[in-house]
Amino acid sequence: MDVHADEAGYRPDLSATAIVERPVTDSQGQLFRDAYPTYADTDKIPAVSRRAAAPGPARWLRVLVVLVAVVVVAAGATLGLVKAGIIDKSKTGNPSATGSPSTTHTTQHHGSAASSKVPLVTPVSTGNGTGTYRIDIAAYAVTVTTSTGRSWVSIGAAGQHPTFEGVLDPSSSQKELLLGPSQVDVGAGGTKVIVTSGQRTFTLTPVSAPFSYQFLVKS
């Protein structure tokens, strides 16, 4: 019997390696059957939800650039409207300012002051029982008043039938609206002839009776 051959049959095979899997335990030695898998052995990156990721600085920078661009475009459009005259710069700066209307009001005020300084009636010539005067405006009114006695009065356009012709009682008056040249004749009785136009008034007192007035208008 070959002893060496028997020993060789019972010797362990050193080329084989035994692997024993050890259970995963925590620091207290407990076994975690439902332990989460590790990714060190699988070489896989765990999936992360995109909703949980916060926006990076690049996204906020893009939003800021868009806002700045909108503001610049709006400012440029407003400046263009101001230069074109569509937007009144004085009104945008001061809402209480009226701009051109205040200028118009000042011009009208000066015009009224200038017109009030011009005499309504200007003497042209006088004679025996007659007088010729020029009125500054074509449309006017003539009022004849009496004081102590009755007076014969005639008022009308020059060269036409009188608008009024008759005798006025004491302390009475007669007013007629005239356009263009006219003629007014008055008799005794302390009469006065008053020419009015708007706020302007001019009073004439006859130097004799009867007296005839010839009124011309400014051409």
Query: Are 179 and 146 part of one and the same domain?
Result: yes
Q: Given this model, what pLDDT does residue 116 score?
A: 55
| H or E element that contains 82 | helix 57-84
Q: Which residues contact 168 (CB under 8 A, 6 or more apart)?
A: 144, 146, 150, 151, 152, 153, 174, 189, 191
Query: Are 127 and 213 part of one and the same domain?
Result: yes
pLDDT band at 212 (very low <50, low <70, confident <90, very high): very high
Rounded Cα–Cα distance for residues 132 and 182 (Å): 10
Number of H helices, E strands in the chain: 4, 10
Q: Flag whether the pTM goes above 0.85.
A: no
Strand order in the sheet with 211-217: 121-126, 130-135, 211-217, 182-186, 151-157, 164-168
Residue 31 lies in a domain: no
- What CATH code is carried by the domain that includes residue 189? 2.60.120
Residue 47 lies in a domain: no
Query: Are 173 and 209 part of one and the same domain?
Result: yes
Query: Are 206 and 147 part of one and the same domain?
Result: yes
Kindly report, residue by residue over 1-43, the tens digit of the pLDDT.
Answer: 444 445 445 555 555 444 545 554 554 555 445 445 554 455 5
Residue 9 lies in a domain: no
Query: Are 202 and 131 part of one and the same domain?
Result: yes
Residue 12 lies in a domain: no
Q: Given this model, what pLDDT does residue 163 score?
A: 96
Residue 24 sits at the vertex; the CA angle it makes with 22 and 29, to the nearest 5 degrees, is 105
Using CA atoms, how far residue 104 sits from 77, 111, 216, in Å, is 30, 10, 33
Average pLDDT, the chain: 74
- Cβ neighbours, 10 Å, residue 104: 11
Residue 46 lies in a domain: no
Query: Are 72 and 135 part of one and the same domain?
Result: no
Tokens of 147: 């004081």
Domain count, the chain: 2
Residue 95 sits at the vertex; the CA angle it makes with 93 and 97, to the nearest 5 degrees, is 90
With beta carbons less than 8 A apart as the criterion, state whether 141 and 175 touch.
yes
Residue 139 lies in a domain: yes
Residue 163 lies in a domain: yes
Q: Given this model, what pLDDT does residue 195 score?
A: 97
Range of the domain at 81: 63-99
Query: Are 73 and 148 part of one and the same domain?
Result: no
Rounded Cα–Cα distance for residues 39 and 54 (Å): 25
Kindly report, residue by residue over 133-192, the tens digit of the pLDDT.
Answer: 999 999 999 999 999 899 999 999 999 999 999 999 999 999 999 999 999 999 987 899
Q: 74 or 4, which is more confident?
A: 74
Residue 112 lies in a domain: no
Query: Are 73 and 145 part of one and the same domain?
Result: no
Q: Which residues contact 184 (CB under 8 A, 6 or more apart)?
A: 142, 144, 153, 154, 155, 193, 212, 213, 215
With beta carbons less than 8 A apart as the criterion, state whether 213 and 187 touch.
no
